[in-house]
Amino acid sequence: MANQVHVRKDSLDTTQLVEVPEQELAEGAVRLDIESFSVTANNVTYAVIGDAFGYWNFFPAPDGWGVVPMWGHAKVTESKCPDIAVGERVYGYLPMASQLDVVPGRVSAGSFADMTEHRQPMSPIYNQYTRLAADPEHDPAREGERMIFGPLFKTGFLIEYFMRANDWFGAERVVITSASSKTAMGLASVVKQRSPHIARVGLTSAGNVDFVQASGLYDVVLAYNAVEMLVQGASVSVDFAGNAALLRQIHETLGDNLKYSCLVGATHVEERGAGLRADQGLPGPTPTLFFAPDHAVALFKEVGPEEAGKQMAESWRTFLKAAAGSINIQRLSGLEAARTAYLETLGGKIDPSIGIVIEP
Protein backbone atom coordinates (compact mmCIF):
# COMPACT_ATOMS: atom_id res chain seq x y z
CA MET A 1 0.00 0.00 0.00
CA ALA A 2 1.06 3.58 -0.68
CA ASN A 3 0.01 6.55 1.46
CA GLN A 4 -1.12 10.03 0.46
CA VAL A 5 -2.27 13.20 2.22
CA HIS A 6 -5.51 14.49 0.71
CA VAL A 7 -6.69 18.10 1.06
CA ARG A 8 -10.24 19.37 0.50
CA LYS A 9 -10.05 21.82 -2.39
CA ASP A 10 -12.83 23.99 -0.95
CA SER A 11 -11.58 23.78 2.65
CA LEU A 12 -7.80 23.76 2.65
CA ASP A 13 -7.52 23.04 6.37
CA THR A 14 -9.48 19.79 5.98
CA THR A 15 -7.04 16.94 5.41
CA GLN A 16 -6.85 13.17 5.65
CA LEU A 17 -4.11 10.57 5.51
CA VAL A 18 -5.24 7.73 3.24
CA GLU A 19 -3.95 4.41 1.99
CA VAL A 20 -3.93 3.87 -1.77
CA PRO A 21 -3.68 0.34 -3.22
CA GLU A 22 -0.59 -0.24 -5.34
CA GLN A 23 -1.35 -0.88 -9.00
CA GLU A 24 0.76 -3.07 -11.24
CA LEU A 25 3.49 -0.93 -12.77
CA ALA A 26 2.72 -0.07 -16.41
CA GLU A 27 5.08 -0.91 -19.26
CA GLY A 28 7.67 1.83 -19.71
CA ALA A 29 6.95 3.23 -16.24
CA VAL A 30 9.11 3.67 -13.15
CA ARG A 31 8.06 3.52 -9.50
CA LEU A 32 9.56 6.12 -7.20
CA ASP A 33 9.70 5.76 -3.43
CA ILE A 34 9.64 9.30 -2.06
CA GLU A 35 12.57 9.85 0.29
CA SER A 36 12.14 13.49 1.30
CA PHE A 37 10.39 16.75 0.47
CA SER A 38 10.11 20.21 1.97
CA VAL A 39 6.95 21.94 3.21
CA THR A 40 6.98 25.70 2.62
CA ALA A 41 4.62 28.60 1.89
CA ASN A 42 5.16 27.74 -1.77
CA ASN A 43 3.14 24.56 -1.25
CA VAL A 44 0.37 26.61 0.35
CA THR A 45 0.33 28.79 -2.77
CA TYR A 46 -0.06 25.67 -4.93
CA ALA A 47 -3.17 24.82 -2.89
CA VAL A 48 -4.63 28.35 -2.76
CA ILE A 49 -4.49 28.83 -6.54
CA GLY A 50 -4.62 25.13 -7.40
CA ASP A 51 -7.83 25.30 -9.46
CA ALA A 52 -6.86 28.47 -11.34
CA PHE A 53 -3.43 27.20 -12.38
CA GLY A 54 -3.93 23.45 -12.57
CA TYR A 55 -1.74 22.52 -9.61
CA TRP A 56 -4.33 19.99 -8.43
CA ASN A 57 -4.07 18.19 -11.77
CA PHE A 58 -0.56 16.81 -11.35
CA PHE A 59 -1.44 14.13 -8.79
CA PRO A 60 -5.09 13.03 -9.07
CA ALA A 61 -7.24 12.39 -5.99
CA PRO A 62 -10.92 11.53 -5.39
CA ASP A 63 -13.50 14.13 -6.41
CA GLY A 64 -13.37 17.23 -4.21
CA TRP A 65 -9.94 16.33 -2.86
CA GLY A 66 -6.43 17.13 -4.03
CA VAL A 67 -2.81 16.20 -3.38
CA VAL A 68 -0.53 19.20 -2.77
CA PRO A 69 2.64 19.11 -4.91
CA MET A 70 6.02 19.16 -3.15
CA TRP A 71 9.65 19.38 -4.28
CA GLY A 72 11.96 16.64 -3.16
CA HIS A 73 14.02 13.50 -3.70
CA ALA A 74 12.99 9.96 -4.60
CA LYS A 75 14.57 6.61 -5.38
CA VAL A 76 13.65 4.19 -8.17
CA THR A 77 12.41 0.95 -6.59
CA GLU A 78 10.90 -0.70 -9.68
CA SER A 79 11.53 -0.01 -13.36
CA LYS A 80 9.98 -1.14 -16.63
CA CYS A 81 11.94 1.52 -18.50
CA PRO A 82 15.26 0.29 -19.95
CA ASP A 83 16.87 3.73 -19.55
CA ILE A 84 16.22 4.03 -15.81
CA ALA A 85 17.77 1.60 -13.31
CA VAL A 86 16.48 0.50 -9.93
CA GLY A 87 18.37 2.34 -7.19
CA GLU A 88 18.76 5.61 -9.11
CA ARG A 89 17.86 8.81 -7.24
CA VAL A 90 16.04 11.81 -8.72
CA TYR A 91 14.93 15.31 -7.71
CA GLY A 92 11.70 16.95 -8.84
CA TYR A 93 7.97 17.54 -8.39
CA LEU A 94 6.40 15.00 -6.06
CA PRO A 95 3.06 14.46 -4.31
CA MET A 96 2.59 14.68 -0.53
CA ALA A 97 2.75 10.90 -0.52
CA SER A 98 5.03 7.90 -0.10
CA GLN A 99 5.17 6.82 -3.74
CA LEU A 100 4.75 7.99 -7.34
CA ASP A 101 4.70 6.22 -10.71
CA VAL A 102 6.14 8.13 -13.68
CA VAL A 103 6.61 7.35 -17.38
CA PRO A 104 10.09 8.60 -18.38
CA GLY A 105 10.52 10.24 -21.77
CA ARG A 106 13.05 12.60 -23.37
CA VAL A 107 15.65 10.77 -21.27
CA SER A 108 19.14 12.25 -21.14
CA ALA A 109 22.11 11.60 -18.87
CA GLY A 110 20.96 14.37 -16.54
CA SER A 111 17.16 14.27 -16.62
CA PHE A 112 13.91 12.87 -17.93
CA ALA A 113 10.33 14.12 -18.32
CA ASP A 114 7.25 12.36 -16.97
CA MET A 115 5.12 11.63 -20.03
CA THR A 116 2.08 10.42 -18.05
CA GLU A 117 -0.89 11.53 -20.14
CA HIS A 118 -2.76 13.62 -17.55
CA ARG A 119 0.36 15.75 -16.86
CA GLN A 120 0.97 16.84 -20.45
CA PRO A 121 -1.36 19.89 -20.48
CA MET A 122 0.61 21.47 -17.60
CA SER A 123 3.89 23.37 -17.84
CA PRO A 124 6.79 21.06 -18.79
CA ILE A 125 8.91 22.74 -16.11
CA TYR A 126 7.03 20.74 -13.48
CA ASN A 127 7.31 17.43 -15.32
CA GLN A 128 11.12 17.41 -15.42
CA TYR A 129 13.09 15.13 -13.08
CA THR A 130 16.81 15.60 -12.45
CA ARG A 131 18.96 12.44 -12.30
CA LEU A 132 21.21 13.14 -9.33
CA ALA A 133 24.13 11.00 -10.47
CA ALA A 134 24.76 13.43 -13.35
CA ASP A 135 23.46 16.65 -11.77
CA PRO A 136 26.13 19.36 -11.32
CA GLU A 137 23.89 21.21 -8.84
CA HIS A 138 23.51 18.21 -6.55
CA ASP A 139 25.36 18.41 -3.25
CA PRO A 140 24.50 15.53 -0.90
CA ALA A 141 25.25 17.79 2.07
CA ARG A 142 22.81 20.49 0.87
CA GLU A 143 19.79 18.44 -0.16
CA GLY A 144 17.71 20.07 2.56
CA GLU A 145 18.53 23.57 1.35
CA ARG A 146 17.78 22.62 -2.24
CA MET A 147 14.30 21.34 -1.35
CA ILE A 148 13.48 24.31 0.86
CA PHE A 149 14.95 27.12 -1.22
CA GLY A 150 15.55 25.75 -4.72
CA PRO A 151 12.17 26.13 -6.49
CA LEU A 152 11.43 29.36 -4.63
CA PHE A 153 14.86 30.76 -5.41
CA LYS A 154 14.35 30.10 -9.12
CA THR A 155 11.09 32.06 -9.03
CA GLY A 156 12.98 34.96 -7.44
CA PHE A 157 15.71 34.63 -10.06
CA LEU A 158 13.15 34.82 -12.87
CA ILE A 159 11.41 37.86 -11.35
CA GLU A 160 14.73 39.73 -11.29
CA TYR A 161 15.43 38.64 -14.88
CA PHE A 162 12.00 39.89 -15.99
CA MET A 163 12.39 43.24 -14.21
CA ARG A 164 15.92 43.80 -15.49
CA ALA A 165 14.86 42.88 -19.05
CA ASN A 166 12.32 45.70 -18.75
CA ASP A 167 14.84 48.15 -17.24
CA TRP A 168 12.96 47.85 -13.97
CA PHE A 169 10.20 49.94 -15.56
CA GLY A 170 12.26 53.01 -14.70
CA ALA A 171 12.19 52.27 -10.97
CA GLU A 172 15.01 52.76 -8.48
CA ARG A 173 13.69 50.48 -5.74
CA VAL A 174 11.69 47.29 -5.34
CA VAL A 175 9.15 46.84 -2.54
CA ILE A 176 8.81 43.18 -1.54
CA THR A 177 6.00 41.86 0.67
CA SER A 178 6.30 38.72 2.84
CA ALA A 179 9.99 39.63 3.01
CA SER A 180 10.71 36.71 5.35
CA SER A 181 9.41 34.18 2.83
CA LYS A 182 11.97 32.07 1.03
CA THR A 183 10.99 33.29 -2.44
CA ALA A 184 11.27 36.92 -1.31
CA MET A 185 14.70 36.25 0.19
CA GLY A 186 15.79 34.61 -3.05
CA LEU A 187 14.59 37.61 -5.06
CA ALA A 188 16.33 40.06 -2.73
CA SER A 189 19.59 38.11 -3.04
CA VAL A 190 19.48 38.05 -6.85
CA VAL A 191 18.62 41.77 -7.02
CA LYS A 192 21.54 42.52 -4.70
CA GLN A 193 23.85 40.49 -6.96
CA ARG A 194 22.57 41.26 -10.48
CA SER A 195 20.84 44.66 -10.09
CA PRO A 196 22.81 46.33 -7.27
CA HIS A 197 21.55 49.80 -8.26
CA ILE A 198 18.01 48.82 -7.23
CA ALA A 199 17.26 49.40 -3.53
CA ARG A 200 15.52 46.50 -1.79
CA VAL A 201 12.67 47.32 0.61
CA GLY A 202 11.20 44.43 2.61
CA LEU A 203 7.72 44.49 4.18
CA THR A 204 6.97 41.90 6.85
CA SER A 205 4.99 41.28 10.01
CA ALA A 206 6.19 43.05 13.15
CA GLY A 207 7.33 39.75 14.64
CA ASN A 208 9.60 38.99 11.68
CA VAL A 209 11.32 42.39 11.35
CA ASP A 210 14.42 41.32 13.29
CA PHE A 211 14.77 38.10 11.29
CA VAL A 212 14.48 39.95 7.96
CA GLN A 213 16.95 42.65 9.02
CA ALA A 214 19.43 40.02 10.20
CA SER A 215 19.39 38.38 6.76
CA GLY A 216 21.28 41.36 5.33
CA LEU A 217 19.37 41.00 2.06
CA TYR A 218 17.36 44.22 2.33
CA ASP A 219 18.35 47.89 2.43
CA VAL A 220 15.20 48.83 4.36
CA VAL A 221 12.81 46.67 6.40
CA LEU A 222 9.37 47.91 7.45
CA ALA A 223 6.55 46.26 9.37
CA TYR A 224 3.20 46.07 7.61
CA ASN A 225 1.79 48.77 9.89
CA ALA A 226 4.43 51.21 8.61
CA VAL A 227 3.69 51.07 4.89
CA GLU A 228 3.03 54.81 4.88
CA MET A 229 6.76 55.27 5.59
CA LEU A 230 7.70 54.00 2.13
CA VAL A 231 10.01 56.50 0.44
CA GLN A 232 8.36 58.33 -2.44
CA GLY A 233 10.21 57.66 -5.67
CA ALA A 234 10.00 55.45 -8.74
CA SER A 235 9.26 51.93 -7.43
CA VAL A 236 8.04 48.50 -8.43
CA SER A 237 6.30 46.16 -6.02
CA VAL A 238 6.46 42.39 -5.83
CA ASP A 239 3.62 41.04 -3.72
CA PHE A 240 4.05 37.52 -2.36
CA ALA A 241 1.39 37.93 0.33
CA GLY A 242 -1.84 37.95 -1.68
CA ASN A 243 -3.32 40.30 0.93
CA ALA A 244 -5.75 42.64 -0.85
CA ALA A 245 -5.72 45.30 1.89
CA LEU A 246 -1.92 45.43 1.97
CA LEU A 247 -1.71 45.64 -1.82
CA ARG A 248 -4.18 48.52 -1.83
CA GLN A 249 -2.17 50.34 0.83
CA ILE A 250 1.02 50.02 -1.23
CA HIS A 251 -0.75 51.38 -4.30
CA GLU A 252 -2.33 54.23 -2.41
CA THR A 253 0.90 55.16 -0.65
CA LEU A 254 3.07 55.18 -3.77
CA GLY A 255 0.44 56.30 -6.29
CA ASP A 256 2.00 57.34 -9.60
CA ASN A 257 5.45 56.50 -8.21
CA LEU A 258 4.53 52.82 -8.50
CA LYS A 259 5.64 51.83 -11.99
CA TYR A 260 4.79 48.12 -11.95
CA SER A 261 2.80 45.89 -9.59
CA CYS A 262 3.78 42.21 -9.69
CA LEU A 263 1.71 39.50 -8.01
CA VAL A 264 3.34 36.19 -7.05
CA GLY A 265 1.35 33.57 -5.17
CA ALA A 266 -0.48 34.05 -1.92
CA THR A 267 1.03 33.38 1.50
CA HIS A 268 -1.76 35.06 3.51
CA VAL A 269 -4.29 32.26 3.13
CA GLU A 270 -7.04 34.03 5.07
CA GLU A 271 -7.27 36.31 2.03
CA ARG A 272 -7.76 33.23 -0.18
CA GLY A 273 -5.58 34.90 -2.76
CA ALA A 274 -7.82 37.97 -2.81
CA GLY A 275 -4.79 40.05 -3.72
CA LEU A 276 -4.67 38.17 -7.00
CA ARG A 277 -8.03 39.73 -7.90
CA ALA A 278 -7.53 43.15 -6.35
CA ASP A 279 -7.09 44.97 -9.63
CA GLN A 280 -10.24 47.06 -9.49
CA GLY A 281 -10.10 50.70 -8.47
CA LEU A 282 -6.44 50.77 -7.43
CA PRO A 283 -4.34 53.84 -8.17
CA GLY A 284 -1.24 53.22 -10.25
CA PRO A 285 -0.57 50.23 -12.50
CA THR A 286 -2.86 47.23 -12.77
CA PRO A 287 -1.45 44.33 -10.70
CA THR A 288 -0.09 41.66 -13.03
CA LEU A 289 0.30 38.00 -12.12
CA PHE A 290 3.77 36.47 -12.52
CA PHE A 291 3.80 32.85 -13.71
CA ALA A 292 7.37 31.60 -13.37
CA PRO A 293 7.28 28.73 -15.92
CA ASP A 294 6.42 31.15 -18.76
CA HIS A 295 9.39 33.36 -17.85
CA ALA A 296 11.67 30.33 -17.60
CA VAL A 297 10.76 29.45 -21.20
CA ALA A 298 11.49 33.06 -22.23
CA LEU A 299 14.89 32.96 -20.51
CA PHE A 300 15.80 29.65 -22.15
CA LYS A 301 14.85 31.07 -25.56
CA GLU A 302 16.93 34.20 -25.02
CA VAL A 303 20.18 32.73 -23.70
CA GLY A 304 19.76 28.97 -24.12
CA PRO A 305 19.24 26.34 -21.40
CA GLU A 306 22.96 25.88 -20.74
CA GLU A 307 23.68 29.59 -20.17
CA ALA A 308 20.48 29.97 -18.15
CA GLY A 309 21.58 27.06 -15.98
CA LYS A 310 24.99 28.64 -15.44
CA GLN A 311 23.47 31.97 -14.42
CA MET A 312 21.04 30.31 -12.01
CA ALA A 313 23.79 28.16 -10.50
CA GLU A 314 26.01 31.20 -9.94
CA SER A 315 23.21 33.14 -8.25
CA TRP A 316 22.18 30.04 -6.28
CA ARG A 317 25.66 29.65 -4.81
CA THR A 318 25.69 33.34 -3.86
CA PHE A 319 22.29 32.98 -2.20
CA LEU A 320 23.35 29.90 -0.24
CA LYS A 321 26.22 31.89 1.24
CA ALA A 322 23.88 34.76 2.11
CA ALA A 323 21.29 32.43 3.62
CA ALA A 324 23.80 30.30 5.55
CA GLY A 325 22.70 30.07 9.14
CA SER A 326 19.37 31.82 8.54
CA ILE A 327 17.44 28.55 8.39
CA ASN A 328 17.46 25.71 10.90
CA ILE A 329 16.46 22.57 8.98
CA GLN A 330 14.06 20.40 10.94
CA ARG A 331 13.70 16.83 9.66
CA LEU A 332 10.46 15.01 10.50
CA SER A 333 9.43 11.43 9.75
CA GLY A 334 6.16 10.19 8.29
CA LEU A 335 3.24 11.59 6.34
CA GLU A 336 1.34 12.46 9.50
CA ALA A 337 4.16 14.88 10.25
CA ALA A 338 3.80 16.20 6.69
CA ARG A 339 0.08 16.74 7.20
CA THR A 340 0.73 18.63 10.43
CA ALA A 341 3.50 20.72 8.87
CA TYR A 342 1.23 21.63 5.95
CA LEU A 343 -1.57 22.71 8.31
CA GLU A 344 0.80 24.77 10.46
CA THR A 345 2.24 26.44 7.36
CA LEU A 346 -1.28 27.08 6.07
CA GLY A 347 -2.10 28.74 9.39
CA GLY A 348 1.06 30.86 9.37
CA LYS A 349 2.39 29.12 12.47
CA ILE A 350 5.85 28.17 11.15
CA ASP A 351 8.81 30.28 12.28
CA PRO A 352 10.49 31.64 9.11
CA SER A 353 13.87 30.60 10.56
CA ILE A 354 12.82 26.93 10.43
CA GLY A 355 12.87 24.86 7.24
CA ILE A 356 10.73 21.70 7.34
CA VAL A 357 11.94 18.54 5.58
CA ILE A 358 9.70 15.47 5.63
CA GLU A 359 11.02 11.94 5.23
CA PRO A 360 7.88 9.85 4.48
- Residues carrying CATH 3.90.180.10, the chain: 2-138+327-359
* pLDDT (0 to 100) of residue 268: 43
pLDDT digits (tens, 9 = 90+) for 189-240: 999 999 999 999 999 999 999 989 998 999 999 999 999 999 999 999 999 8
Share of the chain above pLDDT 90, in %: 62
Separation of alpha carbons 280 and 103, rounded Å: 44
CA angle, corner 220, sides to 150 and 174, nearest 5?
Answer: 60
Alpha-carbon distance values, 115 to 91, 103, 112, 123, 305 (Å): 16, 5, 9, 12, 20
Domain with residues 149-293, CATH architecture? 3-Layer(aba) Sandwich (3.40)
Backbone angles phi, psi at 226, to 5 degrees: -125, 25
Helix (H) or strand (E) holding 288: strand 288-289
> CB-side exposure of 284: number of CA atoms within 13 Å?
23
pLDDT digits (tens, 9 = 90+) for 231-265: 999 999 999 887 888 999 999 999 999 999 998 86
SS (H, E, C) 95-126: ECECEEEECEECCCCCEEEECCHHHCCCCHHH
Separation of alpha carbons 172 and 178, rounded Å: 20
Q: Average pLDDT, stretch 342-357?
A: 87
3-state secondary structure of 4: strand
- Residues carrying CATH 3.40.50.720, the chain: 149-293
pLDDT digits (tens, 9 = 90+) for 97-133: 999 999 999 999 888 999 999 999 988 888 999 999 9
* pLDDT (0 to 100) of residue 280: 58
* pLDDT (0 to 100) of residue 281: 73
* pLDDT (0 to 100) of residue 192: 95
Exposed, middle or buried, 128 (CB in 10 Å: 0-12/13-18/19+)?
middle
| pLDDT category of residue 273 using cuts at 50, 70 and 90 | very low
* pLDDT (0 to 100) of residue 17: 96
- Homologous superfamily (CATH) of 2-138+327-359 is Medium-chain alcohol dehydrogenases, catalytic domain (3.90.180.10)
- The DSSP symbol for 359 reads E
* pLDDT (0 to 100) of residue 278: 46
